[in-house]
Structure 1
Amino acid sequence: MSGKSSRPYSTLKVEEASFNRLCETKTILTVNGQFPGPTLKAREEDTIWVKVHNNGRYNITLHWHGVKQPRNPWSDGPEYITQCPIQPGDSFNYKLIFSMEVGTIWWHAHSDWTRATVHGAIIVHPKKAADLPFAPPDQEVPIIFSEWWKEDVMEVLQEFVKSGGAPRDSDAYTINGQPGDLYPCSSQETFKLKVTYGKRYLLRMVNAVMNEILFFKIANHSLTVVANDGSYTKPLTTDYVVIAPGQTMDCLLEAKQFGGGRYYMATRAYQTGRIGFDNTTTTAIIQYEGDSNSYTTPLFPLLPDYNDTTMAYEFLGSLKSTEPHLFPLNKYDTRIISTVSLNTIPCQNNSCAGPNGTRLAASMNNISFQFPRTDILRAYYYNISGVFDTRFPTVPPFYYNFTGTIFPAFLLTPKRATIVRVIEYGLAIELVFQGTRIIAGLDHPMHLHGYSFYIVGWGFENFDENRDPLNYNLVDPPLRNTVMVPVGGWAAIRFKAVNPGVWILHCHLERHLTWGMDTTFIVKDGNKTKERMLPPPQHMPRC
């Protein structure tokens, strides 16, 4: 159903539906009544259309995470960045322009916290079957990790924004919408994958969880990573994977247990810092066809400890890209260094739930991003003044021991503003994220819309501009769209600004996005026709 047709590829209806989880029935926002939502399919370089009807109670937008949308930010989706939200009762036609994406990417709501239940996978097959760099699997299986609250997630959002503190922890993680039989009332609904000895299965994993990075492992089976974030990787055989919110991973599973049996696949949080988190474990089951022991207790995998930073980054450091590179990696034109921090802002009468009665916040280069009420893309395209400031700084406001626990007091309180960065077309950009410990040291999965980038380096402690680039991997660095910035450390990415438009950069931990850990890049048009933004569609959602 894909191809360069003028007819809609699909119709997605945002609507409420009831689901029974954890012994309770709850009404949630869904797409086409499904949780997770439907899987979309395309081929490399396709252009497809998706018509979205908002039949729910809340404003909604959809983001096509990993679809670069060349020259077409109008359909990227983040509310008040590239569009105003689709209001209840309205519709919008998204035009999805695929380019070099292959493998698994995903779509999700990009408005408030609606993505908790409004999300699904996108499978992009290569243009030619012969371009697949590994033997075709016998079956492809989406594995989507989500997070579940017994309360309405929008009420969770409103509660924690009002309080100024951290949001309440979720009650469960889910695999393909099911919490697994370690939770009450869930044994009959646990997701089960039936496999046949000797066959190969491609697990297309998506981390749609709101606030936690995850460890994932299958008992008595290894996995071979063959793609991540919509690009092929050098094959990596591993006993476990680490996947952050926003990231995707394609892994081959060989059903090689000669005696058959039942085996848990399990996931739990990887979490650092002193902020609370959902410390439960969710499961699904691999069951061999024809196994006479179909009701025995599955074998359970030994997952890493929740705070095992060494294992997390040993895995991430082993991922490698395939060649050729998209652009030369041995040089850059502009380097931007940005801190990523948790902060606080004063609260009237010190009555908020943050430290010392303050309100929690987050920032990049000590700027806590404020969403405007008119989208930035429209303001930029039509030269509407007063919507945003273009002075996002190239370096942090003050240099100190970023990863230490002693810091200048003025950095506790960030500037709250809508400040973006304008980038000339065609420049090679190096962007260094520097983690801090102002309130708490945490890992941050940073996602850039409109681009894939090479993760050329990362490390612990403070980034050293003279020493650390000497150890960059410029040979086969991973190509991704979401990078994990280590707790108490830094990560460096490189991309070439050849996609004109307005593109948000943000932490994919939803609480940090809510608090302001984001900014926006405006990439200017080039000189040639094919280097300029496409014109807007006729009917953009109204503000």
Structure 2
Amino acid sequence: MRLLSGIVAFWPVALLLLVVSASPLPDCNGEPRKFELTLTWEKHAPDGFEREMALINGGFPGPLMEINEGDDVEVLVHNKMPYNTTIHFHGIEMEGTPWSDGVPGLTQRQIKPGNSFVYKWKATQYGSYWYHAHQRGQIDDGLYGPLVIHPRKTDPKPFSLITEDPKILKAIIKAEEDAKPLVLSDLRHVTSEENWKIEIAAGIETPCYDSILINGKGRVQCWSKEKIASLLTPDQKTFLKLGNETALTAKACLSGNIIGNVLAAGLPTNLSAVPPEIFDVCTPTNAPQEVIEVTKSKCSQDKWVAFNVIATFGLITGSFSIDGHPMFVYAVDGSYIEPQLVHAITVTNGDRFSVMVKVDTAGDYPIRIASTATAQMITGVATLSIRDTKEAGANATSTGVEPYINDVGLNTTSDVVFFNQGATRSFPPDVISPVADRTFKLSMKVAGASYNWALNSTIYPMQLDNEAPLLFEPDPSRHNNVTISTCYGEWVDLVFVAVSFPMPPHPIHKHGNKMWLLGHGDGEFPYASVAEAAKAMPGSFNLVNPPKRDGLSTPPATTGPAWMAVRYHVTNPGAWFLHCHIQSHLLGGMSMAIQDGVDRWPVVPKEYLDYH
């Protein structure tokens, strides 16, 4: 029985606020908090297989950036790779500094090999974020790292909704200050450019990876035919039947035949251009896995540890859990929420979940991430190692606790509780407009080839380095399928409609500010506005206290169309990117530009205008 009660005192009815006594980092005394990142292209073997990839300051993932809310920030990037690049600070709204958002062709010119670039911005937010390349598919090459902004001492915190016990609160506050990053990532054994060339030559997507890493560590796992067969999901069985096949490949993937002749049916393909190791060959490795050590002292009756779970995936969506340890999710995408006590969380590209965990019994507990994507079964494991100074001999003992999730991310018992996005409530509560000033319906579709995706019927063109970024030369009169223009202060609804199917979920990320999830559903969206749709199907919408995210996944369109509606407030003028965060979909054109606040366009500093 998976009991969630008894972890802390009963939740209080009153909504109490709690503040922190001091910031974890010393004050900068008015000076910017500075970071220096040197990007190199080297051979590295994070899962035991050596490949060429991006390293940051000689390591992978990149170093943790720690910042205090209110800091001015300067990040000096030296590009010593043989490729152009940029750095985007994922989830950072760049309020007043859109030229530091890091999107080539939209907010800056690329950083060429041998050149350097300084990103300057102010930490107007708190919470868990990450930084990554925004040049082609370089996330798949390992160019990313974690970032945390510690809140001001005056920021209201939601921990009194967990307990009012002063001793427990003190332990929880300390845990948040020392929150440990858990960077979740998927890894291929080919570079992003090599994989893109394979997709173009074959005319299909290649949705299979080689390993899942936690904090840059992991190994290739090859499962028996019997294990793979025992874990087949209904969707996988359906695709196998449609492809006249009976089993996944040795890599636990749908085959190239199914991708080409079922998912890409009717489109030109050349499956002979796909090397066998992409879909079919699995070679196990035995590389080290991450171990997070937590020590309980004799004086510590209530020991808590906080993790910032950061999903840097190039493709997958997965289930995350820690065996034997329920988690209070207290922040999502960097913003506090009313805590949810859960056993597992569904995470996808770009997501951040801050979780609080009570640690009791000494032992080693698996930290699990299991892909829930239909295309492939794949898992990653780390270890939470709890040491207790008063329990001699218990430190190295395996606990044998039953997992909450299995190797395809499904609950192992009926009482396992997953994070409920629909029940997410901001803390403190948000106030949003009950109506929108403007509505844009965006038609998502496959566009000409299975690796080409359109966010609104048209593939977004790749921006060349010799082109002036849109931020530098805005065009308020520009109206087309890949550009949206808004005015300052407007409330804008975006309705994403999957018009071709079968279509997987798309994790849609908006730069510049967060979005509220108003509703989603199956079928057509024949309405001119959310207000009209809400009258026709009121049960499908939450217009009062909807979840707030900077990335939201559209529902899968399995047998017919599907839709998702979001709302945002135009308060941060500039040129912002809206795109699917799956790397192959972004490479394939699934993005748009938004000119927010064209009537209050920012003046770009000369140092950015003149950068080449």
Q: After TM superposition, give the deviation of residue 379 of structure 1 in Å.
A: 4.3
8 Å CA contact 2:350–2:551 kept in 1: the answer is yes
Aligned equivalents of 2:28, 2:291: Cα separation in 1:
32
Equivalent position of 2:11 in the other structure: none
Structure 1 position 195, deviation (Å): 4.7
**1:389–1:420: 8 Å Cα contact kept in structure 2?**
no
Equivalent residue for 1:391, pick from 469, 479, 498: 479
Distance 1:69 1:140, change over 3 A: same
TM-score normalised to the size of structure 2? 0.74
What are the within-5 Å matches in structure 2 for residues 6-405 of structure 1? 7=32, 9-99=34-124, 101-116=125-140, 117-128=142-153, 131-134=156-159, 135=169, 136-138=173-175, 139-167=178-206, 169-179=208-218, 184-186=284-286, 188-196=288-296, 198-257=302-361, 260-272=362-374, 276-277=375-376, 279-290=377-388, 292=394, 294=396, 296=398, 299=401, 301-303=403-405, 306=408, 315-325=420-430, 327-345=431-449, 360-373=451-464, 378-379=469-470, 381-382=472-473, 390-392=478-480
CA distance in 2, matches of 1:220, 1:313: 14
> Within 2, Cα distance between the matches of 1:145 and 1:514?
21
* Aligned-pair CA distance for 1:474: 2.8
- 1:475 equivalent in alignment to 2:573: no
2:505 paired residue among 435, 438, 443: 443
CA contact 1:501–1:524 (8 Å) conserved in 2: yes
CA deviation profile, 1:97-134 (whole Å, cap 9, x unmatched): 222x2210111100011123111111111121663332
Gaps of 5+ in 2: 1-25, 160-168, 223-283
Asked if the contact 1:29–1:118 (Cα under 8 Å) also holds between the matched residues in 2, the reply is: yes
- How far did residue 467 of structure 1 move? 4.1
Matching residue's letter, 1:502:
A
State how 1:455-470 maps to structure 2 within 5 Å. Answer: 455-463=517-525, 465=527, 466-468=532-534, 470=538
What amino acid maps onto 1:462 in structure 2?
E
Mapped partners of 1:390, 1:517: distance in 2 = 19
Task: Tell which structure's C-alpha radius of gyration is larger.
Answer: 2
Q: Give the TM-score, by structure 1 length.
A: 0.82
* Pairwise CA distance, 1:368: 1.3
- Separation in structure 2 between the aligned mates of residue 540 and residue 295 of structure 1, nearest angstrom: 59
Aligned CA-pair RMSD = 2.9
Give the length in aligned residue pairs.
Answer: 489
DSSP-derived class of the 1:115 partner: helix
Letter in 2 for 1:315: N
Provide the rounded CA distance (Å) in 1 between the counterparts of 2:378 and 2:369.
9
Say whether residues 1:522 and 2:607 are aligned partners.
Answer: no
Q: Decide which structure has greater strand share.
A: 1
Paired with 2:29 and 2:198, the residues of 1 have a C-alpha distance of 45
Structure 1, gaps ≥5 residues long: 346-353, 355-359, 394-418
**Within 1, Cα distance between the matches of 2:210 and 2:477?**
40
Code of the aligned partner of 1:366: S
Q: Determine which of 487, 490, 495 is the counterpart of 1:432.
A: 495
Deviations 1:389-422 (A, max 9, x none): 82235xxxxxxxxxxxxxxxxxxxxxxxxx3111
Helix, strand or coil: the match of 2:607?
coil
SS in structure 1 at match of 2:447: strand
Match of 1:349? none
| Distance apart, 1:31 and its partner CA | 1.0
